[in-house]
Chain A
Amino acid sequence: MHPVTEHYLMMTRRHFFSRLSFGLGTAALATVLKETGDATPLFQSSADKPGLPELPHFPPKAKRVIYLYQAGGPSQLDLFDPKPQLERLRGQNLPESIRMGQRLTGMTAYQSSWPTAPSIYKFARHGQSGAWLSELLPSTARVVDHLSFIKSMHTEQINHDPAITFSLTGFQIAGRPSLGSWVAYGLGSENKDLPAFIVMVSVGRTGGDQPLYDRLWGSGFLASRYQGVKFHPGQDPVLYLSNPPGIERQVRRQFLDDLAELNGINAREFGDPEILSRVAQYEMAYRMQTSVPELTDLSKEPEKTFERYGPDARKPGTFAFNCILARRLAERGVRFIQLFHRGWDQHGDLPKNITKQCQDTDQPSAALIMDLKDRGLLEDTLVIWGGEFGRTVYSQGKLTADNYGRDHHPRCFTIWLAGGGIKPGISLGETDDFSYNIVRDPVHVHDLNATIMQSLGIDHKRLTYKFQGRDFRLTDVHGNVIEQILAT
């Protein structure tokens, strides 16, 4: 939206507040703010609106997104993209006709050879759609008919920091708003007690060396109220949520009433709508003190839930636990829910590590799909599973009969999507015999982001923000919606 429009909206809202403050006694103020639905969506926007007025650009297929981000770069070769004919070439140097001089990371660029490392895992077709999956993903195999695979994803970055930043902000250098913050900015929240954009992080059994950064859910040049709120495992899912020991909830209530009254006195004298805005934020904070613990308290979940999501599901901080939370957030209308699972960066000992990663993620991911499905939420929730790039067909380090590693590979990787707006049972794109280059239907990261926007009813070319004199957008000057996977 143009800042002018934004400004006008703010003025309108401010007028509401100034009339409110001058027309009512301050004692009534807090009550009024509590009761006025209008006062509540302040979380993502002190401009006091649920989103931009011109949005959605067209009827959305999805109301919300759950992005199961697999940080580190899962190996497409061992999970999704079978190349059985490679077994014949085991150990042979990757042909130059395949590599074509493309740049490699410094971790393998100086290897004396690039031995072809076929996956040691068995692949089979599953479901009516006949999607190929490796034996590492037995649970995913049971839900494949709900999923749509893209095997021809590609990006431009070969290292984690730039690649993950690129994938989530559309630019490899820090400073641009993240996908979720664009969505929060554009569409706002549907829940008055929770932020529009929530992030959760899990570290798996293997640990994980690829760090994450605030910027991956940051708001860049958008106002910081659009940034993702990161949930923390443990006592306070939202930082500073709990009252300190010794301060009971009714003490806090009195505190807030007195605070509102005092702020109201100043508001009347100074006429600054920001003061009333602040009062409303304190009320929202107070509501979050109940809504968030209620959300993260799984004690009322039936036993069935835990069976479905697997043995980790009771343990806060695991991917499985976060998947349950993701479903609960979706139920509550949170707009953009992003999970990060670390540990996919398998440069060495890939077989050992990927097995553990799949133990962490396979069952919960599949459970989430079915859980959403059962609750009728899958129809309008877009679920995405994938990371920042793929991995090389050649082994990093020594190749043995049962061990190998794989370096970063930006030229092709696989992701899956499901739910709102996605045609299920599709497999789009094809890679060459080495899963090295794409031979059919390439899909760029910008295309994926454009498609995510599209599902939400946003034309990615029209959601822009003027900064430093330029209209910026998530997809820069690129991005084509992937029509083939969209449900009609």
Chain B
Amino acid sequence: MRQIACQSIGRWRWKLTVLLFTCGLLIQYSFDERALGHAQRRIDFNRDIRPILSDKCFACHGPDAPNKKIRLRLDSEAAATADLGKGRRAIVPSDPDRSEMVRRIKASDELMRMPPTYSGHRLTQAEIDILTEWVKQGAPWQKHWSFAPLLRPQLPSVKNKAWPKNAIDYFVLERLEHEGLEPAPEADRATLIRRVSLDLTGLPPTPQEIDDFINDRSVDAYEHVVDRLLNSSRYGERMAFRWLDAARYADTNGYQIDGNREAWRWRDWVIESFNRNQPFDQFVIEQLAGDLLPNATLEQKIATAFNRNHRINAEGGIVPEEYRIEYVVDRVDTTSTVFMGLTMGCARCHNHKYDPITQKEYYRLSAYFNSIDEDGHSFDQGNSPPWIAAPTREQQRQLQDLDQEITQTENHIATLVKKSTERQRRWEQSLISSAGGRANQQWFPSDRLLVHLSLDENREPVFNRSDRPHHEQADNRSSESPQVIETGFKEGAPRYIAAPTGQGVAFDGKLFFDGGLRADFRYKSTSKDYRERFTIAAWIYPESEQSGSIVTKVSDSPAEVENNVPRAEGYGLYFLNGKIHFNMIFRWGEDALRVETADALPLRQWQHIAVAFDGTKAWDDRIRLYLNGRSQKLKFNQRSFFLLFSSKNTLKIGAGGGPEFRFKGALDEVRLYSRVLDEDEIAILACADSLEKIAREALLNRTRAQALKINRAFVAQAAPEELKRADQKLLDLKQKRLDFEETIPNLMVMEEMPEPRPAFLLKRGAYDAPGEKVERGVPAILPPIPSSFPNNRLGFAQWLVSPDHPLTARVTVNRFWQMLFGKGLVRTSEDFGSQGEWPSHPALLDWLAVEFMGGNAGENTPPSTRWDVKAVLKTMVMSAAYRQESKISALLQERDPDNRLLARGPRIRLSAEMIRDQALLISGLLVEKLGGPSVKPYQPDGLYKDMAFSILTGYERDQGEGLWRRSLYTFWKRTVLSPNMQVFDASAREFCTVRETRTNTPLQSLNLMNDITYIEASRMLAQRMLLEGGATPQARIRWAFRLATSRRPKDQEAAILQRNLNRQLDYFDHNPQAATRLLLIGEKRNDERLKVSELAAYATTASLILNLDEVITKQ
């Protein structure tokens, strides 16, 4: 761990306008100043003047003035002092009497007075006075403080040299001394270790840890504790929780349907990143643009899910572009808020009213986030492209092993094939010589062959197995009453004719084959996120350009027709307009995948066609159409497919979409596989030659398909056992790999399109009102992107963390400060703009920011010290300011109720997740395990029932350890948040949240008293009291109290608890059934050896302890 030096280098360059305000006015500048007393202060433009101008004037006379046709602007010095005509100027420095602004704000005539009444704003007398005084003093201007370059301020001098422990304390103490206040004494060790343990790990210390600290008399005892905590893996979990709020991470997609998504791999990346103390600049770059880094690793791609965590909309009927724009907007707003503290969203519809950001600049910024190949319409369930398979490290290892085994087996097969050349030759000879009995013998792949119609006169159709169970499991919509459907030819009898592989059947435009409720291939399901794979193949002999339906799963009743194609719901392979069409339709135009071959096919001849669908692939690779074994160029008619279609239609050969689409021509060898066949296999299907015929060909004359076919046939039929076994093994391994792939977590990531999508200014922010085209760029108020950076997301990310960026470091250290002290140095941690709050300690903020960045540009600091998160947190918690006790004196309650001056330590209610995690920890229930899929702990029954989408109303509560993991891993449903998180102000994560809020309501009390979570925790804590807490009730009470508060109870407290316990013992002794019922709450069972009534009594007292204000507070 890096030690932070107290000495500061660099010069004092935080140029506050040093103007003493001596005329005796008691000025009330800003809220802080008001609350903090009335000491005389220097006028400082940024602190004292800009907030007034911004709040009361900028709405009209600010950056958006030109759009409102208002000439006067007060957001720049030049504009404010310019000649407005006839020599009138708003501000004439040093001359208030000639300044129009001063005259107008003082005007007694209501029609003249600014701001106008209709604006709803009024200047107070104090504000008028200070504006006047400021003009009198020359109206000195400053750049808005947060946009000013970051320079390391010098440490201020303080009188009390003994108090500061590090640089932070000089800044804090200077302010306190200025205000005439004393810092508070250091908190006692028990309080301190509890505070710092909760702050750095989210969990309280154990009694052993407390004792170790108390007994450690070395000078760096506290530092040891801090280092231990920062090195604990709990640290990453603690840090991740707040980051998930900022990054609006959740386990559901939000909006109307709010189906589940898979995103936890990114959450685990965040935990890991904090735990390995990844430099923050890298943390930023990888999350914003990891995919664009040279040779991006899997982990770097995973990081980019940061900007895919936003909500996505699956509501039927939406205009996808409207929501695609919302996603881009969300990325811009989140990125601006989290890294720059800018409320960019204001500039979406018009120029920003307060900050120097134009609408055009907004869209230039959005152009960085605009170029991924996404659709505004998402799936009901699961992720939406672009996505990647994001195996865990363990899965990556297993995959490697599998691949290695596959390669070995392939090599083994190659060797065996070579060894059996002679045997194959003999086998081929036998095919020729015994041709009489085995004429026209064929071989085709049969693995996962679902349906096979040979269409030969004497051969029955083959239905290998039903795929229904798979889908029924996936989709409870299809559990309608099963229909009994007779399979077979309908509307006529088959007429068999000669065909490529023997016989085929002539279809006369009436006849069709009904395959029953089979081959229920769909793409997605509403309730389960699976990705379909299948193949359909057939020989066709089209009579005309409109020969019709080949294989479909659509209704046979007439459908609407467009461009000669039926708009029927379901999937269908057709020969229409001379081309092969393959359509998967839920709702034509809105929700369907429709492709056709780019080229027309010849008529009245046999040709082999196949379609392979692979739902795991990117949009354009999802479908392949083959003609005679060769992949065809496709024309996409529609590729926006989200929902499943009805499963009630039967599989039809030669029909579907209405009588006019009955097939006219002939068909042969119809095959449906529940897997994707590769090109070699398709080539074999398209090779009609019998094995005998191929065998007669000289080796060198055989086509590729012929060679493949006869070789595969040999292995399957006549190879030595060893080769057969190896071949089977290879098949099994490949299947195993596919099955394994299905278990790999999927993750939505950023993936840049080859060509950037053009970006436009959107008038009024509306998706359908594009204005001028804009190029990528950053707001002019900020330093430009260096020309050495690429002008894309990567360059943008690098720019954010470049040494002369004024915001990223300031905003970030402010959030860390907020995490420890409850409020940021800038309390509006989401807004560093001119409407944001002036920092309570501006120089401290800058010092921390510079320290965090590892020095100013030009300062020669070692790279290892740059953007070191653990180091900056350590500096904060090592400070004397942090270590103060948090008692509030009457004086401070009066002077500084919000603790902005830091004359005492932080006293803050714990956040939702900490309250629950702490109860789990001290009751011994907590299952500590890093990462993994989200878990579903206790929540009230039926919570989703009257709220959620009709088929998403279930909540499958975890059994076992999922009930007791840290709340970081709790399944986060955006539209119906877990109530024990919600009541304690947790974010629903519908949007980015960086400010922490804390309320105090009776719902919290009810939750802590009556939630299964806490009753179970009380029971288990009671058990620990009895088993571990000592021999007497008094000892056990003291032990549990200390476990929960980290301190020993006062005698008075112990006495109250003892009294409480005695009453409970008495009560449950007389009410044994009550005791039994209480102990049955929750899944975890108590030790059977313990006496039920005693346990119940202890549980009630334990619950009392868990409900103490002190227990749910860091003090």
Is B a genuine binding partner of A? yes
Residue numbers of A with Cβ under 8 A of B are 3-4, 7, 10-11, 14-15, 18, 22, 42-43, 46, 103, 105-110, 112, 158-161, 173-175, 201-203, 207-215, 218, 223-225, 229, 232-234, 236, 238-248, 251-252, 254-255, 258-259, 261-263, 265-267, 269-275, 277-279, 281-282, 284-285, 288-289, 317, 342, 407-408, 461-462, 464, 468-471
Complex-state Cα separation, A202 to B945, whole angstroms? 10
Whether A255 contacts B1100 by the Cβ 8 Å rule is yes
Whether B888 contacts A259 by the Cβ 8 Å rule is no
- Chain B residues whose C-beta falls within 8 Å of the C-beta of A464 in the assembled complex: 120
- Tell me how far the C-beta of A11 lies from the nearest C-beta in chain B, rounded to whole angstroms: 6
Q: Which residue of A lies closest to B1061 (CB)?
A: A258
Complex-state Cα separation, A479 to B1115, whole angstroms? 46
Complex-state Cα separation, A145 to B552, whole angstroms? 58
- Chain B residues whose C-beta falls within 8 Å of the C-beta of A468 in the assembled complex: 343, 345-346, 828, 830-831, 835
Whether B1000 contacts A281 by the Cβ 8 Å rule is yes
- Chain A residues whose C-beta falls within 8 Å of the C-beta of B1109 in the assembled complex: 263, 266-267, 274-275, 278-279
Complex-state Cα separation, A93 to B501, whole angstroms? 51
Tell me which residues from 570 to 595 in chain B have a Cβ below 8 Å from any Cβ of chain A: 587-591
Find B34's partner among A4, A110, A265 (CB 8 Å cutoff).
Answer: A4
Whether B940 contacts A239 by the Cβ 8 Å rule is yes
Complex-state Cα separation, A472 to B1109, whole angstroms? 34
Whether B343 contacts A285 by the Cβ 8 Å rule is no
Whether A106 contacts B589 by the Cβ 8 Å rule is yes
Tell me which residues from 953 to 1009 in chain B have a Cβ below 8 Å from any Cβ of chain A: 974-977, 979, 982, 985, 988, 990-991, 997, 999-1007, 1009
Which segment of B108-116, B168-176, B309-317, B674-682 sits at the interface? B309-317
Q: Which residue of A lies closest to B1016 (CB)?
A: A244
Find B590's partner among A110, A161, A251, A277 (CB 8 Å cutoff).
Answer: A110
Q: Which residue of A lies closest to B330 (CB)?
A: A173
- Tell me how far the C-beta of B702 lies from the nearest C-beta in chain A, rounded to whole angstroms: 50
Instruction: Classify the interface of chain B: helix, strand, loop or mixed.
Output: loop
A209-B949, A242-B1010, A254-B1060 known; A161 vs B315 contact (CB < 8 Å): yes
23 contacts between A and B (CB under 8 A): A3-B31, A4-B31, A46-B1000, A108-B317, A110-B588, A161-B315, A174-B990, A203-B946, A211-B975, A213-B947, A218-B988, A224-B1001, A232-B942, A241-B1006, A247-B1100, A255-B1107, A262-B1056, A270-B887, A281-B1004, A285-B1009, A468-B346, A469-B54, A469-B835
Which segment of B254-262, B404-412, B420-428, B532-540 sits at the interface? B254-262
Complex-state Cα separation, A437 to B293, whole angstroms? 53
Find B1005's partner among A107, A229, A267, A281 (CB 8 Å cutoff).
Answer: A281
A209-B950, A214-B988, A270-B887 known; A262 vs B1053 contact (CB < 8 Å): yes
Whether B120 contacts A461 by the Cβ 8 Å rule is yes
CB of B319 closer than 8 Å to a CB of A: yes
Which segment of B715-723, B734-742, B889-897 sits at the interface? B889-897
Whether A225 contacts B831 by the Cβ 8 Å rule is no
Whether A214 contacts B31 by the Cβ 8 Å rule is no
Complex-state Cα separation, A387 to B1007, whole angstroms? 33
- Tell me how far the C-beta of A16 lies from the nearest C-beta in chain B, rounded to whole angstroms: 12
The 4 closest A-B pairs by CB, nearest first: A469-B835, A110-B589, A246-B1078, A105-B317
- Chain A residues whose C-beta falls within 8 Å of the C-beta of B1002 in the assembled complex: 42-43, 281-282, 284-285, 288
Whether B1015 contacts A244 by the Cβ 8 Å rule is yes
- Tell me how far the C-beta of B983 lies from the nearest C-beta in chain A, rounded to whole angstroms: 8
- Chain B residues whose C-beta falls within 8 Å of the C-beta of A201 in the assembled complex: 946-947
- Chain A residues whose C-beta falls within 8 Å of the C-beta of B834 in the assembled complex: 469
- Tell me how far the C-beta of B1049 lies from the nearest C-beta in chain A, rounded to whole angstroms: 9
Complex-state Cα separation, A175 to B976, whole angstroms? 14
Whether B1007 contacts A239 by the Cβ 8 Å rule is yes
- Tell me how far the C-beta of B48 lies from the nearest C-beta in chain A, rounded to whole angstroms: 16
- Chain A residues whose C-beta falls within 8 Å of the C-beta of B92 in the assembled complex: none
Find A106's partner among B590, B952, B1076 (CB 8 Å cutoff).
Answer: B590
Whether B946 contacts A202 by the Cβ 8 Å rule is yes
- Chain A residues whose C-beta falls within 8 Å of the C-beta of B833 in the assembled complex: 469
Give the most central of B567, B1006, B1075, B1077: most A CB within 10 Å. B1006
- Chain B residues whose C-beta falls within 8 Å of the C-beta of A282 in the assembled complex: 1002, 1005, 1107
CB of B1063 closer than 8 Å to a CB of A: yes
Whether B1003 contacts A238 by the Cβ 8 Å rule is yes
Whether B887 contacts A239 by the Cβ 8 Å rule is no
Q: Which residue of A lies closest to B316 (CB)?
A: A107
Whether B317 contacts A238 by the Cβ 8 Å rule is no
Since A224-B1001, A468-B831 are in contact, a sample of 9 more A-B pairs with Cβ atoms closer than 8 Å, ordered by chain A residue number, is A46-B1001, A103-B768, A106-B317, A208-B950, A225-B1001, A243-B1009, A246-B1075, A254-B1060, A270-B887
Whether B311 contacts A244 by the Cβ 8 Å rule is no
Whether B950 contacts A11 by the Cβ 8 Å rule is no
Whether A255 contacts B1060 by the Cβ 8 Å rule is yes
- Tell me how far the C-beta of B864 lies from the nearest C-beta in chain A, rounded to whole angstroms: 37
- Chain A residues whose C-beta falls within 8 Å of the C-beta of B697 in the assembled complex: none
Q: Which residue of B lies closest to A468 (CB)?
A: B343
- Tell me how far the C-beta of A277 lies from the nearest C-beta in chain B, rounded to whole angstroms: 5
- Tell me how far the C-beta of A253 lies from the nearest C-beta in chain B, rounded to whole angstroms: 11
Complex-state Cα separation, A105 to B323, whole angstroms? 13
Complex-state Cα separation, A281 to B977, whole angstroms? 22
Whether A271 contacts B888 by the Cβ 8 Å rule is yes
Whether B977 contacts A214 by the Cβ 8 Å rule is yes
Tell me which residues from 862 to 888 in chain B have a Cβ below 8 Å from any Cβ of chain A: 886-888
Whether B985 contacts A224 by the Cβ 8 Å rule is yes
A106-B317, A245-B1077, A317-B946 known; A258 vs B1104 contact (CB < 8 Å): yes
Whether A42 contacts B1056 by the Cβ 8 Å rule is no
Complex-state Cα separation, A263 to B1104, whole angstroms? 11
Whether B990 contacts A215 by the Cβ 8 Å rule is yes
A18-B893, A285-B1006 known; A160 vs B256 contact (CB < 8 Å): yes
Tell me which residues from 267 to 316 in chain B have a Cβ below 8 Å from any Cβ of chain A: 311, 313, 315-316
- Chain A residues whose C-beta falls within 8 Å of the C-beta of B974 in the assembled complex: 213
- Tell me how far the C-beta of B807 lies from the nearest C-beta in chain A, rounded to whole angstroms: 15
Find A175's partner among B990, B1015, B1081, B1096 (CB 8 Å cutoff).
Answer: B990
- Tell me how far the C-beta of A400 lies from the nearest C-beta in chain B, rounded to whole angstroms: 14
- Chain B residues whose C-beta falls within 8 Å of the C-beta of A158 in the assembled complex: 317, 319
- Chain A residues whose C-beta falls within 8 Å of the C-beta of B948 in the assembled complex: 211
- Tell me how far the C-beta of A484 lies from the nearest C-beta in chain B, rounded to whole angstroms: 24
Give the most central of A239, A240, A267, A284: most B CB within 10 Å. A240
Whether B835 contacts A470 by the Cβ 8 Å rule is yes
Complex-state Cα separation, A215 to B1104, whole angstroms? 33
Whether A223 contacts B1011 by the Cβ 8 Å rule is no
- Tell me how far the C-beta of B907 lies from the nearest C-beta in chain A, rounded to whole angstroms: 6
Complex-state Cα separation, A259 to B320, whole angstroms? 54
Find B319's partner among A103, A108, A245, A254 (CB 8 Å cutoff).
Answer: A103
- Chain A residues whose C-beta falls within 8 Å of the C-beta of B588 in the assembled complex: 110
A159-B318, A211-B947 known; A240 vs B940 contact (CB < 8 Å): yes
- Tell me how far the C-beta of A341 lies from the nearest C-beta in chain B, rounded to whole angstroms: 10
Whether B1006 contacts A240 by the Cβ 8 Å rule is yes
- Chain B residues whose C-beta falls within 8 Å of the C-beta of A161 in the assembled complex: 255-256, 313, 315
- Chain A residues whose C-beta falls within 8 Å of the C-beta of B890 in the assembled complex: 18, 22, 271
Whether A207 contacts B1115 by the Cβ 8 Å rule is no
- Chain A residues whose C-beta falls within 8 Å of the C-beta of B1081 in the assembled complex: 244-245
Whether B886 contacts A244 by the Cβ 8 Å rule is no
Complex-state Cα separation, A207 to B952, whole angstroms? 13
Complex-state Cα separation, A215 to B977, whole angstroms? 10
- Chain B residues whose C-beta falls within 8 Å of the C-beta of A462 in the assembled complex: 120
- Chain A residues whose C-beta falls within 8 Å of the C-beta of B887 in the assembled complex: 269-271
CB of B414 closer than 8 Å to a CB of A: no
Complex-state Cα separation, A254 to B256, whole angstroms? 45
Give the most central of A14, A105, A248, A281: most B CB within 10 Å. A281
- Chain B residues whose C-beta falls within 8 Å of the C-beta of A246 in the assembled complex: 1071, 1073-1079, 1096
- Tell me how far the C-beta of B421 lies from the nearest C-beta in chain A, rounded to whole angstroms: 59
- Chain B residues whose C-beta falls within 8 Å of the C-beta of A174 in the assembled complex: 254, 311, 990-991
Complex-state Cα separation, A285 to B890, whole angstroms? 29
CB of B836 closer than 8 Å to a CB of A: yes
